[in-house]
Amino acid sequence: MKSTLRMFLVFGAVMALLAVGTPVSAHDTHSSMDFTCADPDPKTKDTPSKASCSFDFNDNGDFGNTNNDKVNKFELWLPAGATVNEDNDQGEDGSDGVADPADGDDVGTSTVTTELSYNNCDDNNTDGGTYITEWDNDWNSYSESGWDKVAEYNTKFTVLFITINVPSHVMKRQSDGQYKVVTDLPQDSACAGAHTTFNPLVTYAYANDNSNNTWIAKNPNSDGCFTVTLVAYEVGGTTHTDTDQVEVGSGTC
């Protein structure tokens, strides 16, 4: 049981909200994380869409090789004007009036490879696996000044018959209504210097990937080229930022 001990840390669920009208083909600014997204499917403005993005943490050791260099969390900033289904069961934080997915409904998937500490980090091979991200009505505590938490997703990773729940917090900025998804990674289980790849992280347009169910997120309500941003936070405080652009409707990047 060596390379099978690799874990797939998402999004989030992040894991999950990423979808919404977020992605675009891989053109434009790519820096340390090779952040690459596909066009929304469909690209129609103000319409639920399926999204898919890929990115790397610590490829070629560019983040570092100590415990302080591990990624503690990452954020996916949706395009301005994108809309997310907010959880109506959480009081004032989520109150959009749109029908919610049921607790445990699938909202996306993450395929992740990384080196974990379960085998003492002695195997350089990395196997990938795909895990489901679910709508979660049982929220974890998470807050940021100037933001409201409006939904939560949970990605379940199984390693050696042990399930690790990785939460993604859907946040809405109070000043302008922009959304981001913050995914807390179990960095204590990761090996120092590990290269972690999300390829891809997918968000569905509808719960359980079925158009008969409620929508998860929508494209912006205007045609255009929109920016999607990925921010990774290391344990030691260093941050890494990468962007891609999204074509919505007749927009061209």
pLDDT tens-digit map of 45-102? 999 999 999 999 999 899 999 999 999 999 999 999 999 999 987 654 556 878 999 9
Average pLDDT score over the chain? 83
Residue 28 pLDDT > 60: no
Residue 42 pLDDT > 70: yes
**Which pLDDT belongs to residue 60?**
87
Domain boundaries, the chain: 3-248
The answer to whether the beta carbons of residues 233 and 71 sit under 8 Å apart is yes
pLDDT tens-digit map of 116-144? 777 777 665 565 689 999 999 988 889 99
- Mean pLDDT on 184-193: 87
Instruction: Please give the model's pTM, rounded to 2 decimal places.
Output: 0.86
